[in-house]
Structure 1
């Protein structure tokens, strides 16, 4: 996959503080790229360098093949930047706000007018076209700011903490909008420490701490590298002992354990003796957790073996790690 962003040994110092430490990174074209790290990790510094707002102390970066050092004006034509703070001018209406930035980017008058309408429709703000910007809600301001980043039709959108301060509904709307932008062919680089938000939309991630890159790549590849085996969750209604006997000899099963049933899940009342004589008690479902090294085809064979052995299986699924698991595993919680 072609990289739209490349950095090589990117370094930035603020006095004695090393904000970026020889960062070498690639952002694939067409990706939703999550840039993850604690506060002070170097995320905003990286984004400001990529948008030509900050000069690196050393190293180099390219956006769409253009050098941020030698061709900053060309870089600005292909990048839309949404900072973490929404700055506006007083007494400016929504359409005027977009028109102002369109003029600043040199968008032709005819194209500018149509772009304003298209972008307001895209971010669902057409009904607010003639409202004053300062009267919008936080979520609407974020959507308007996103529209502003696209007024010159850039190939790359760089969004610094776009979900900060948004209520749950506004975050969901923003997430769906970013997915739609990717479907339109945009590459989105988004920084955040709200990992649950990124987990549902990112195709690739990079984790940074104290200016150093700790991990980067597509989400599934990173998960596989950090956890080389799968964890399968098998819910058994009947035949738990038979299931264990079938699974333990297999070479692709590293470990097998029963998941503990919480005490509160146990029946609260004893079954009367007379009732026990009338009907045998139903078996309680139990869950087996399997550390498994095989592939997808092997998982199918494993399930077939269980069913063929008379085990009643009501659930068979792979437990998936998430971005929080990755983040906690590779970072040390150090800030600078």
Structure 2
């Protein structure tokens, strides 16, 4: 039956004979999805479907939504959990104060927001002071710090592109420095959202020029 198909899509087949009051919050959310699927909708709009769910329930909900999409439905999800949306959705749209800031794949959205800033950790063999000073003068390097926990590690805030990053590594090697590791960490979607919110707050709090 269609009801059985919908329960299978949201992974609730084993709970088919359970009372609603016996279900967890995550299972209840998925039961609502199953009910919504009964008429085989082409479009679904969900507002914060993972709100209040524990990590396991959020994962189960995400898998259910992906299964629904594979069935041919278009699923719109409104959420502030951007990292989860990046894993779940084929296309993202970031809005701020009613304005669309960026849309596309996760990578495209990150690039459109202009938040390509990343952290690069360079671990060298030998003294790091000379290479730290050289790095501070390079294009795209916003800040250089020396790790307090590791006396051979230099941490950069870097805003250049992929070609500039490759050139940076080549330049380090040309300085005659033995590099043990060169690790990149991009900003998470939460960090991007927080930065946008902080920028908005500063603009609202700053006095207007007359």
- Shorter chain as denominator, the TM-score bin is 0.7 to 0.9
8 Å CA contact 1:214, 1:330 repeated in 2 = no
8 Å CA contact 1:207, 1:327 repeated in 2 = no
Deviates more, 1:286-295 or 1:175-184: 175-184
Which of 11, 30, 51 is 1:164 aligned to?
51
Partners of 1:124 and 1:228 in 2: how far apart? 38
Give CA-to-partner distance per residue, 1:242-298, whole Å, 9 cap, x none: 433553554x3343411552xxx4xxxxxxxxxxxxxxxxx7332321423233x44
Partners of 1:193 and 1:228 in 2: how far apart? 18
8 Å CA contact 1:228, 1:293 repeated in 2 = no
Partners of 1:329 and 1:293 in 2: how far apart? 20
The aligned residue for residue 207 of structure 2 is: none
How many angstroms does 1:126 deviate by? 0.8
8 Å CA contact 1:178, 1:188 repeated in 2 = yes
The aligned residue for residue 289 of structure 1 is: 156
Which of 23, 28, 31 is 1:141 aligned to?
28
Could you say which structure has the higher helix fraction?
2
Distance 1:185 1:306, change over 3 A: farther
Which of 165, 178, 199 is 1:299 aligned to?
165
How many angstroms does 1:204 deviate by? 0.4
Partners of 2:84 and 2:22 in 1: how far apart? 27
Which of 185, 198, 204 is 2:92 aligned to?
204
Partners of 1:207 and 1:227 in 2: how far apart? 15
Distance 1:315 1:189, change over 3 A: same
Partners of 1:131 and 1:238 in 2: how far apart? 62
The aligned residue for residue 125 of structure 1 is: 12
Could you say which structure has the higher strand fraction?
1
The aligned residue for residue 189 of structure 2 is: 322
How many angstroms does 1:153 deviate by? 2.5
How many positions carry a matched residue from both structures?
197
Which of 91, 111, 129 is 1:241 aligned to?
129
SS of 1:317's equivalent in the other structure is strand
How many angstroms does 1:149 deviate by? 1.9
Partners of 1:288 and 1:328 in 2: how far apart? 20
SS of 2:61's equivalent in the other structure is helix
How many angstroms does 1:139 deviate by? 1.4
SS of 2:27's equivalent in the other structure is helix
8 Å CA contact 1:232, 1:290 repeated in 2 = yes
Distance 1:255 1:195, change over 3 A: closer
TM-score when scaled to structure 1?
A: 0.49
Q: Please list every run of 5 or more consecutive structure 2 residues that lacks an aligned counterpart in the other structure.
A: 205-210
- What's the RMSD between the two structures over aligned residues? 3.1
8 Å CA contact 1:155, 1:186 repeated in 2 = yes
TM-score when scaled to structure 2?
A: 0.74
Query: RCO higher in 1 or 2 (8 Å CA, sep ≥ 6)?
Result: 1
Greater Rg, structure 1 or structure 2?
A: 1
